[in-house]
Amino acid sequence: MKTKLTLFLAMIIPGILFAQSDKYQSAMVSSIDQLYNTSGVNDIEAAVNQFKRIGDAETTEWEPYYYAAFGTLMKASKIEDPGEKDEVLNTAKDILAKGKALSENNSEILAMEGYILMIQLTIDAGTRGQQLTPQIMGLFSQAMAIDPENPRAILLMAQMQMGTAQFFGTGIEQPCGLVDKAVQLFETSKPKSEIAPAWGKNNALAVQKTCAAATQDKGN
C-alpha cells in the first residue's frame, strides 16, 4: 500500500508541477505569438494585458514583464502626440522595472531599457540627446558585456551609433560591421528557450540593406 501511495505521489506531483510550468510556457508562447502577429493598438494592448496577468500571477518570472514592456513600446511607436507617446513609454519603463527587479544583470532587459530610452530620445533629440545618448550607449554596452552573443543588444547599439554617425557625418562602417555581426548571430544562435526573446532579425536585415545601399552610394 505504501509503495502504491509513493507511486501515486510520484505520478501526480510531477504531473501537477509539469502542468503548472507547461501552463506558463504555453500561455507565454501563445501570448508572444499574439504580440508578434498583431498590429492594432487594441490587440497589442490585449497582449500586454495578458503578459501583465501572467507576470502578476507568477511573481518570479521576468519574461512576462519584459514582453509587456516590449508591447507597450510597440504601442507607443503608433502614437503621434509626443506628450502621450512619452507617457506610454514611461509606463513601459515602469513595467520593465518589475522584470528588472526579478532578474538583475539581464542582457535582454538592459537592451530593452535602452531601446525604450532610444525612442524617448527621438521624441526630442535636440533637447534630450546630450543627457540620454551616453545613458543609452551605457545600457547597450552593459547588455553586450553581459552577453556578447545577444544580437538585439548589438543591433540596437549599431542603430544608435548609426544615428550619431549620420548626424556628425562620420562613417557608418563601424555600426554596419555590428549589424553584420547581429545578422550572423540571428542566423546561427538559437534562443535559449521557447519563450526567450527572439525578435529583431527582420530589423537587422533591413538595416543591413541600408548599410549596403550606403556603401554602394559611396562606391558610385
Partner 1 sequence: MITSIRYIILLVLISIMVPGTLLATEISGRVMDQQGEPLTGVNVYLKDTYSGGTTDLEGYFQFQTDETGNQVLILSMVGYKTLEQSVNLDGDITGLSLEMKDDINKLNAVVISAGSFEASDEKKSEILKPLDIAMTAGATADIAGALSKLPGTTTNGESGRLFVRGGTANETQAFIDGVMVRNFYSPSANNMPTRVRFSPFLFKGTFFSTGGYSAEYGQGLSSVLSLNSNDVPPETQTDISLMSVGADVSHTQKWDDGSIFGQVQYTNLDPYQSIIRQEFEWINGFTSGNGTFMLRKKDKNHGMWKVYANIDRSGFSMIMPNIDSPDGDRIEVTNDNLYINTTYKYMVAKNTTGFLGLSYGQNQNDLDFNDLGIFEKAKSAHAKAYLVSDLSGFSVKAGAEVISDRETQSILFSDGSNFNPDYENHLVASFLESDLFLSRSITLRTGLRYTRYSLFNQGHVSPRISMAVKTGPFSQLSAAVGQFHQLPERDLLLMSTEVSPETADHYILSWQTTPLNRVFRIEAYYKDYNQLVKFNAEAPFDPSQYNNTGRGYAQGVDLFWRDSKTFKNTDYWVSYSYIDTERDFRDTPSLSPVTFAAKHNTSLVVKHFVTELKTQFGASYSFNSGRPYQNPNLPGFNQARTRFYSDLSFNFAFLHRQNIILYGSITNLLGRDNIFGYEFEQNAGPDNHFDSRAIGQPAKRFLFLGLFITLTKNNEANQLENL
Which one among 137, 146, 198, 214 touches partner 1, defined by CB under 8 A?
137
Which one among 77, 105, 174, 193 touches partner 1, defined by CB under 8 A?
174
Which one among 2, 104, 169, 220 touches partner 1, defined by CB under 8 A?
169
41-60 residues near partner 1, rule: CB under 8 A: 42, 45-46, 49-50, 52-54, 56-57
Which one among 6, 8, 77, 192 touches partner 1, defined by CB under 8 A?
8
C-beta neighbour count of 160 within 10 angstroms: 22
Residue whose CB is less far from partner 1, 31 or 190: 31
Q: Is 76 among the residues that bind partner 1 (CB under 8 A)?
A: no
Radius of gyration of the chain (CA): 20
Question: What is the Cα–Cα distance from 180 to 178, expressed in whole angstroms?
Answer: 5
Question: Binding segment for partner 1 among 96-104, 161-169, 186-194, 211-219 (CB under 8 A)?
Answer: 161-169
Q: Is 191 among the residues that bind partner 1 (CB under 8 A)?
A: no
Task: Report residue 121: phi and psi, to 5°.
Answer: -60, -45
Question: What is the Cα–Cα distance from 194 to 192, expressed in whole angstroms?
Answer: 7
Q: Is there a contact between 186 and 200 (Cβ–Cβ < 8 Å)? A: yes
Which of 5, 8, 71 has its CA nearest to residue 37?
A: 71
